[in-house]
Amino acid sequence: MTLNYRELDWELIGSVLMLSLIGILLIMSAQYYADSAFERTYFERQLLWLTIAVFVFAGVIHLPLRLLDFSAYLLYGLSIVLLVLVLLVGTPRMGASRWFSFGPINFAPSDFAKLALVLALSRFFAYTKLPPVSKRRLAFSAMLTIIPVALIIKQPDMGTALVFFIILFGLWFWGGLSPVYLALILSPLVSLVAASHWLAWAVYFAVLLVFLFLFRPGFLFGVVMVVANLAFGMITPFVWNRLADYQKLRILTFLDPGRDPRGAGYQIIQSKIAIGSGGIWGKGLLHGSQTRLDFLPERHTDFVFSVLGEEFGLWGSLLVLLLFAFIFYRAVRIAARCRSRFASNLIIGAAAILLFQFFVNIGMTLGFMPVTGLALPFVSYGGTSLVLSWSLIGLIVSAHYHWQEY
Amino acid sequence: MRRFNVPLEHREKINLIVVFIVLLILIGGLAKLQIIEHAGLARQSENNRIRVAPIIPRRGVVVDREGRLIIDNRPSYTVSVVPAEISPDTTLPNLSHLLELDTLQIKEQIHKNMVNRYLPAPVKRDVSFETVAVLEEQSTRYPGVATQVEQVRQYQKGIGAESFTGYVGELSRADLLKEGRDDYRPGSMVGKEGLEKQYDRQLRGQEGTAYKEVSAAGRYLGDYEGKEPVPAVEGADLVLTIDIDLQRICAQVLDTFCCGAVLALDPRNGEVLAMTSYPGYNANIFSSVMPESLWQAISSDSTHPLLNRPLNGLYPPGSIVKFVTIGAALQQGIINENKTLRPCTGGFKYGNRVFRCWNPQGHGSLTAAHALEQSCDVFTYQLGLELGVDGLSWYFSRCGFGRPTGIDLSGESPGLVPSSAYYNKNYGEGQWTPALALNISIGQGELLVTPLQLAQFFCGLANDGIVYQPHIIKLISYTSGKVDTVSSRVSFTLPFSPSTLKVLWEGMRLVVEGKHGTARFLKNERYSLGGKTGTAENPHGENHSWFVGVAPLEAPEIVVCAIVENAGHGSDVAAPVVGKIIARYMEKKSKPAEVALRSAKELQ
């Protein structure tokens, strides 16, 4: 398939490329003073990965959208098989088996599964004749989502599992589901959290009932929601006990980082110190003491934004935020313009993944989101994440290029 | 139901609003940290990476009156542990094996000396070079262990100087809290006894502060360039009044006995020329971690090496204090220089008890000076009876007994001068006999003195009744160039008139030069010598042997006081000891070059 390259969305591509290069610069700075030569060359490997990612991106934009549409369920099926396989034969690292290792390359099938779910859900919502609030429509799409989520929770990886739900909710909304319903459907999860204290739960329930009374979404739906909320509230203690210790610790630490400043809260505290001490102008490239002296953990991966905040200050951070904002803005505009519902869904699904990771990751470095292990798209070190993010951009650019097609 | 369906253009708007809200939240979060909380977080970032490390100043050295070293510093290796970096499974067991300390002791040391988790806490000081070599070569077996070169105290050996040098030891966290000293850290070396304690502030100087940059793991990366270090002020050096030549002979002459003490004072100014307590101990061992067994051995030793006898040894003075009794009687007009009392027949009957003279044959009729020459007990008993307990008590107190001399060393004992108030308190009102005065008059009974008090008293006798404050520091020399000179000052005056002093002086002379003098064998042609023997009865064993010598008698320059415990008569044991010391002093005076040469050889 030949493309008229002038018609591609070069502004979007340029923004993404710029973010990726900023990422490489930060990774270099993050490990510039590292003891091992291996760590010092992370940025070189990220550069190699960027090259690969750009090739994959090029591949994606050359694929006919119709082919993706056609093979969506097939790819989805493949992703499920890989997720099962990784549980059986994956390489365990740090208590989780999330990766297939091929020599130096680690491949996380959960990243591929995100892409596959976006395709599958986009296809389903594009062709279903069921109305947005129909039970069968909601149930089927939820099932498509829950199967990979269940497998990923088994790995275990809560952060990634959440991303799948975000894709689902994003596409539910884009498919026409009212935010009121969306809020109600999500309410049992809020109930789960609120039930950690009886008073909070009581208040929450009162609010829920008022909400139901105001919007009257239908009698049966209302009753189901109340029952679901009750049920979720009551299983809170069981869920809590089922969580692994490190997960409990993450939640407790999120609520109060000071409770364990040398342990789990350490990362959050040090990240806040790094970003805050950067001030408006930053300490300058390679001059971030938090970064240079090892205080900042995971500084080339999850906490790469902290390096940015410390060394480039507010202006550098704002630049990155605005680049991201531009990408989301462009994605939404394109999605609304696309004539193909499949392509439109595809864009929203892709953008939802990126937006969620963007928000949770930076929120974590700023100290108001829990430590989930979600990377910052394009910027954090990590090959599969970079390739996946570029693939998602590939889908958006491709949909933009073909916006007139049905 | 329809009303909840949202048209596409609205959905687009809602999506853009969501993006906008997310952006606002993140910008808000950034602004909060980078603008509002910037100052506080920037400070935290600095605190994160800068550690304050003390710069330990050199501790002042101590030299004798001629500038010869008594306490020096020498570099040594200290094994320390950085608590934050140790691995409990390997560090402690391996270190325990290497240092021959059990893991519990190491843990105690760390706890005791820890300032914070990132600064090395000294575990063992003064380890061998071999140990350091092992630590360096096999560093992976000892994670978190660091070796540093530190200065340790080096005490001149073989001169029995511990009685005034004291020693230094580690300051524990508990001591620190107890004493409320904010200029010290746990694990600092501080003076525990003697000069080291008394002049600790001067000797130790002032710690400086270095600012070090550290990594998150607490590893020191080097000096932090943003802040100038505060340099340390080195400790002041002390120049003592001690003369090592004399000090050494003091230690040597006691070497053949069990226990005792020797003191040499200059009566003209109160300077302590030599002072030793025997047996002593090796002050160097306290600088390092002392094994419990060694501490046990020292503290339970029946010869009490830790007892500082010149200042804290409490003994009955025996006949030496006949000078007080006879002086008091002369002063009170009970006798005059020519008066004789009832002749001595070897005993004195009082009530239904006979108080015996040391010479059972008796001394016959004696004048005061001759009573001192022959140390006649009967003569003294009669005066004691006349003076009474309170009369004696008054004169003893005026002669410097029963209270500290005020020497510039800590922990001096006051001794005991009994009075009627004392007896009333201990025995009950009227429940004691005035005959107790007889015992006191010859230096027995409850009367207890320190060797320093006796030496001080004789300084007064030798110096026309004027007693100079005994002191051991000649000057303190600060690194700033400032020098504090300790000037001699008069402490008190003996309660004796010149005529009384003249009689007592004659008594001192006769003890050595008289035909019947108890120390007549000390007489020699080279210089004149006076003094007094003492044989203190000791309920716990053999008599203590005392002698105080004064030379040269016509213009006294030195007073030497010696006690040898459980050794018998004063004339047999202590007198020859003092004789040798005075001989060395006079020899040095006449042939300083020869003595200096010999001394230099011995010091090597």
pLDDT digits (tens, 9 = 90+) for A361-397: 999 999 888 887 889 999 999 888 899 999 999 999 9
* DSSP result, A381-406: S-HHHHHHHHHHHHHHHHHHHTTT--
Which pLDDT tens digit goes with each residue over B302-324? 888 888 999 999 999 999 999 99
The end-to-end CA distance of chain B, in Å, is 109
Nearest to A351 by CA among A159, A120, A118, A126: A118
Report pLDDT digits (tens) over B415-437: 999 999 999 998 888 888 888 89
For residue B2, name the pLDDT band (cuts at 50, 70, 90): very low
Element (H, E) at A113: helix A109-127
- Residue A221 · residue A184 · CB < 8 Å: yes
Q: Determine the average pLDDT of the residues in B242-258.
A: 89
Average confidence (pLDDT) over A294-308: 88
Res B171 pLDDT > 70? yes
Q: Could B4 and A180 be called an inter-chain contact, meaning their C-beta atoms sit closer than 8 Å?
A: yes
Residue A8 is classified by DSSP as S
- Domains, chain B, ordered by start: 52-235 (3.90.1310.10), 244-299+307-603 (3.40.710.10)
Min Cα–Cα distance to chain A from B110, Å: 21
Lowest-pLDDT range of A119-128, B88-97, B555-564: B88-97
List the strands of the sheet with B558-564, edge to edge: B271-278, B260-266, B558-564, B541-551, B530-538
Give pLDDT, residue A324: 97
> What would the two tokens of residue A258 be?
């000071």
Q: Which residue has the higher pLDDT, A91 or B416?
A: B416
Residue B170 — pLDDT band, cuts 50, 70, 90? confident
pLDDT grade for A97, boundaries at 50, 70 and 90: low
- Token readout for B524 is 């020699």
- Percent of chain B at pLDDT above 90? 43
CA distances to B56, B154, B235 from B59, in Å:
9, 11, 5
- Using a 10 angstrom Cβ sphere, with 0-12 exposed, 13-18 middle and 19 or more buried, the burial of residue A28 is buried
Q: Which range is least confidently modeled, A195-204, B174-183, B248-257, B550-559?
A: B174-183
Domain ranges of chain A: 5-401
What is the distance between the alpha carbons of residues B299 and B351, in angstroms, rounded to a whole number?
46
Cβ contact (<8 Å) for A321 and B26? yes
Could you tell me which of B389, B517, B215 has the C-alpha nearest to residue A295? B215
Which candidate, B384, B377, B370, places its Cα nearest to that of B356? B377
Residue (of A106, A249, A104) closest to A96 by Cα position: A106
Residue B502 has pLDDT above 90, yes or no: yes
Cis amide linkage into residue B279, ω under 30° from 0: yes
**Residue-level pLDDT at B290:** 67
Tell me the pTM.
0.65
Rounded mean pLDDT, A213-233: 83
Residue B3 has pLDDT above 50, yes or no: no
Given phi > 0 = left and psi -120 to 50 = alpha, else beta, which region is B261?
Answer: beta
Q: Residue A47: which region, alpha, beta or left (left: phi > 0; alpha: psi -120 to 50)?
A: alpha
Q: Give the residue, B97 or A348, on which the prediction is more confident.
A: A348
DSSP-assigned letter for residue B540: T
pLDDT in tens, B8-32: 888 899 999 999 999 999 999 999 9
Select from B469, B491, B464 the least CA-distant residue to B556: B464
Number of H helices, E strands in chain B: 21, 21
Round the average pLDDT of chain A to a whole number and report it: 87
User: Residue B493 CB: number of other CB atoms within 10 A?
Assistant: 13
* Interface residue B14 vs chain A (CB under 8 A): yes
pLDDT(B181) > 80 = no
The conformational region for residue B425 under phi > 0 = left, psi -120 to 50 = alpha, else beta, is: alpha
Q: Any chain A CB within 8 A of the CB of B21?
A: no
Angle made by CA atoms A371, A376, A382, in degrees to the nearest 5 = 100
Lowest mean pLDDT among A319-323, B61-65, B334-338: B334-338
Element (DSSP H or E) covering residue B564:
strand B558-564
% of chain B residues with pLDDT over 70: 94
Instruction: Look over chain B and give the mean of its residue pLDDT values, rounded to a whole number.
Output: 87
For an interface test with B, give the residue of A31, A270, A275 to mutate (most B CBs within 10 A).
Answer: A275
Q: Which residue has the higher pLDDT, B503 or A162?
A: B503
Does residue A317 belong to the interface with chain B, where contact is any CB pair within 8 Å? yes
CA–CA gap between residue A171 and residue A193 (Å, rounded):
24
The size of chain A, in residues, is 406
Where does B129-259 show beta strands of DSSP type E? 145-155, 168-170, 189-191, 208-214, 220-223, 237-240
How far apart are alpha carbons B305 and B163 in whole angstroms?
A: 10
pLDDT at B355 over 70: yes
Q: How confident is the model over A39-71, as pLDDT tens digits?
A: 888 999 999 999 999 999 999 999 988 899 999
Q: In angstroms, what separates the C-alpha of A10 from chain B's closest C-alpha?
A: 21
Q: What is the DSSP letter of B315?
A: B
Band (pLDDT 50/70/90 cuts) for residue B395 is very high
Query: pLDDT digits over B291-303, tens only?
Result: 677 878 888 888 8
If you average pLDDT over each of A35-39, B21-25, B46-50, B87-91, which comes out highest?
B21-25
- Could you give the dihedral angle defined by the CA atoms of residues A183, A186, A189 and A194, in that order, rounded to the nearest 10 degrees? 10
Q: How many helices (H) and strands (E) does chain A have?
A: 16, 3
- What local confidence, expressed as pLDDT, does residue B191 receive? 87
B16 interaction partners in chain A (CB closer than 8 Å): 329, 332
Share of chain A above pLDDT 90, in %: 46
pLDDT greater than 80 at residue A251? no
pLDDT score, position B493: 95
Window 280-299 of A, Cβ < 8 Å to B: 280, 289-290, 293-295
Q: Label residue B180 by pLDDT band (50, 70, 90).
A: low
Vertex B546 angle, CA B545 and B551, to 5°: 140
Highest mean pLDDT among A87-91, A402-406, B295-299, B519-523: B519-523
Spatial separation of the C-alpha atoms in residues B289 and B307, rounded to whole Å: 21
Ramachandran bin of A399, using left for φ above 0, alpha for ψ from -120 to 50, beta for the remaining angles = alpha
A291 to chain B: which residues are within 8 Å by CB?
Answer: none
Instruction: Find the helix packing angle between B420-427 and B377-398, rounded to 10°.
Output: 100
| CB-CB contact of B242 with B64 (8 Å) | yes
Cis? peptide before A64, omega within 30° of 0:
no
Residues 6+ apart with CB under 8 A from B201: none
Q: B55 pLDDT band (50/70/90 cuts)? A: confident
| pLDDT higher than 70, residue B288 | no
- Does B1 score more than 60 pLDDT? no
Q: What is the ipTM of this complex?
A: 0.93
Longest dimension (CA), chain A: 65
pLDDT category of residue B603 using cuts at 50, 70 and 90: low
Structure confidence at residue B510 (pLDDT): 94
Q: What angle do CA B68, B72, B76 make, to 5 degrees?
A: 150
Instruction: Check whether B542 has a pLDDT greater than 60.
Output: yes
> Cβ separation of A277 and B41 shorter than 8 Å?
yes
Q: What is the Cα–Cα distance from A349 to A108, expressed in whole angstroms?
A: 19
Min distance B210 CA to chain A CA atoms (Å): 19
Please report residues of A whose CB lies closer than 8 A to that of B42.
Answer: 276-277, 279
